[in-house]
Amino acid sequence: MTKFLELGEYEGGYKDHKAQLFRFTTKKPGFPEMVELFSILPEYPLKKLSRETPVHFDEEASLSALLLDEDYYQLLMRERQEIDGYSVLSNRGLIVFKAKAWLDMKARVEQGEHGLSKKIKKHLNDITRLTGLLHDDDKLANLEVSETLKNDMKQFIELLSLDIQSIPQNEDIFLSKEEVFEILQHFLTA
């Protein structure tokens, strides 16, 4: 993994002056723009409860991965696809992950956290674009998910229904706000 990150000239991000070692980006042609590392809770005890866990590939690397609960980890494993030798999450899998991140950020704002509005808008913009890329056999209604994920998506749809006008529209989004909402809503018919 570390060799791949070096070859692709990937850089990690920073948050609150701390390195984020689970998300990496590059502008180098021929490499995915972003790499994110995910993990389920390891079988060994962690020093502190966090949303990240250390990942050990070799002696020199110091990486981490975002922790997923078992339901989201299973979705990640079921919805991964190999494209040009890279393991990527399907569009419909990405929609569910981004909806969960959107929900989590909205909850953090409700609890008084500031500075998340751009990220909330970006996630909804990503969800809208990804919804437009779904093909007939790729619809959310065909997605096999747990009750936990269904409940998360139901909560996402309910919150979004209160403000359908927040669904973005621009030149690279080919569906109307109503069409996007209808496709997302069909997730619940599964």
pTM score above 0.85: no
Domain boundary among 42, 68, 94: 68
Number of compact structural domains in the chain: 2
Q: Which of 46, 49, 34, 140 is nearest to 96 (CA)?
A: 140
**In a shared domain, residues 31 and 75:** no
Domain boundary among 16, 45, 68: 68
Write out the residue range of the structural domain in which residue 5 sits.
Answer: 1-68
pLDDT tens string 145-187 = 899 999 999 999 999 999 999 999 988 888 999 999 999 988 7
pLDDT tens string 99-135 = 999 999 999 999 999 999 999 999 999 999 999 888 7
- DSSP one-letter code for 46: P
CA–CA dist 59, 91 (Å, integer): 35
